[in-house]
Structures are given as structure tokens and as C-alpha cells.
């Protein structure tokens, strides 16, 4: 919360652990920033999505695949932001 810039946005994803951190809005308010909760769905929703993808032959676009040993290179590539689609690390 302290690192968000003026008029910035904080995305709070998940919170499945049940633990609460310091989510006081005061620091955000002083910066004109906002907090957005993001819900990514549960297992049943994920399985429904996979079924829909299979039925409709939807496949994700894979930009590049790296071997596990090349993981640092894969993260550097991802950080460059020049990819189109998914960057995959084979395990």
C-alpha cells in the first residue's frame, strides 16, 4: 500500500488463507489511489472453463517454450514484455 503511486491502483487477488493484512484505506486515500479485489473463481469454475475450451477447441496462444533449466531466461523474456501469448516453462 505504501509503494502505490499517486492515483495508482492496488489489485488484491485471492485472499484464500483467511489471514488479514493491513488493508486500511487511509494511505490509499491520501494518494488518490484505489484498491480493487479480484476474484479468479473456484475449482468448479475452472473445470467448467476447461470443458468449454475442450468442446470449442480453444487453445491458448503460446509465444515461446523454455526448458526448466532456462527458467531465469524465461522470466527475463517475460519481463521484456515483447511476448504475444503465454510463456511456458516445461517441467
Give the DSSP per-residue string, 16-76.
Answer: -S-------SHHHHHHT-EEEEE----HHHHHHHHHHHHHTT----EEEEEEGGGHHHHHH
Are 2 and 29 within one domain? yes
Domain count, the chain: 2
Are 44 and 9 within one domain? yes
Are 47 and 81 within one domain? no
What is the structure's pLDDT at 54? 97
Query: Using 50, 70 and 90 to split pLDDT, how confident is the model at 1?
Result: confident
For the question of whether the overall pTM of this predicted structure is more than 0.85, the answer is no
Query: Using 50, 70 and 90 to split pLDDT, how confident is the model at 8?
Result: very high
Domain that includes residue 19, residue range: 1-59
What are the pLDDT digits (tens) for 17-75? 556 666 678 889 999 999 888 888 889 999 999 999 999 999 999 999 999 999 999 99
Are 21 and 43 within one domain? yes
**Locus of grid cell 484505506:** 25
Amino acid at each position: 500500500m505504501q509503494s502505490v503511486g499517486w492515483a495508482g491502483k492496488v489489485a488484491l487477488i485471492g485472499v484464500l488463507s483467511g489471514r488479514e493484512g493491513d488493508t486500511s484505506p487511509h494511505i490509499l486515500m491520501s494518494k488518490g489511489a484505489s484498491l480493487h479485489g479480484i476474484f479468479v473463481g473456484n475449482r468448479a469454475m475452472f473445470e467448467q472453463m476447461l470443458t468449454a475450451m475442450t468442446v470449442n477447441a480453444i487453445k491458448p496462444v503460446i509465444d515461446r517454450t523454455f526448458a526448466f533449466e532456462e527458467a531465469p531466461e524465461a522470466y527475463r523474456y517475460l519481463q521484456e514484455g515483447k511476448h504475444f501469448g503465454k510463456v511456458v516453462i516445461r517441467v
